[in-house]
């Protein structure tokens, strides 16, 4: 299984994540948040995995915002989401900082087989339908 990296264009932290994944030969697929904005259920899933509230996924999130209000804001401007969002469906990292490579390395060494092919079936819970509208399943976005 590989990782999904939700990104926004011109994001330096996203570029740092790509560099790390490439340097460590870890498979990933990228999802451009401006083209494929997460649905409410995805945002709730991210928050659940992180152990936080949905409003904490956005920059300067207001604790008075309901999940639906956060979704409405993100739908209008996906750059409000903290990025990158890196997940494999059971593990998640929000943003990129000096601790992120160590967290990923620890997780991968304990739970993953490096260099395993990314298969769309690994992410079915995130993408309704057959996934064709998201990416072609070739391992590339």
Task: Give the model confidence (pLDDT) of 1-33 as tens digits.
Answer: 589 999 999 999 999 999 999 999 999 999 999
State the virtual CA torsion across 107, 44, 31, 78 in degrees, nearest 10.
Answer: -130
Average of per-residue pLDDT across 32-51: 93
User: Considering the domain 3-113 in this protein, what is its CATH number?
Assistant: 3.40.30.10
Predicted structure pTM score: 0.75
Does residue 140 register a pLDDT over 70? no
Query: How much is the pLDDT for 58?
Result: 95
Q: How far apart (Å, rounded) are the C-alpha atoms in residues 118 and 86?
A: 14
Provide φ and ψ at 19, rounded to 5°.
Answer: -60, -45
| Domains of the chain by residue range | 3-113
């Amino acid at each position: 299984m590989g990782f999904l990296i939700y990104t926004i264009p011109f994001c330096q932290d996203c570029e740092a994540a790509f560099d790390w994944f490439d340097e460590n030969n870890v498979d990933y697929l990228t999802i451009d948040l401006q083209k494929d904005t997460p649905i409410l259920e995805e945002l709730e899933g991210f928050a659940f995995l992180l152990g936080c509230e949905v409003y904490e996924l956005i920059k300067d999130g207001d604790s008075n915002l309901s999940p639906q209000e956060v979704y409405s804001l993100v739908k209008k401007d996906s750059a409000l989401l903290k990025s990158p969002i890196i997940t494999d469906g059971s593990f998640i990292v929000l943003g990129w900082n000096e601790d992120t490579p160590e967290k990923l390395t620890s997780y991968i060494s304990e739970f993953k087989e490096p260099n395993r092919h990314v298969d769309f079936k690994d992410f079915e819970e995130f993408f309704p339908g057959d996934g064709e509208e998201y990416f072609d399943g070739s391992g590339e976005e």
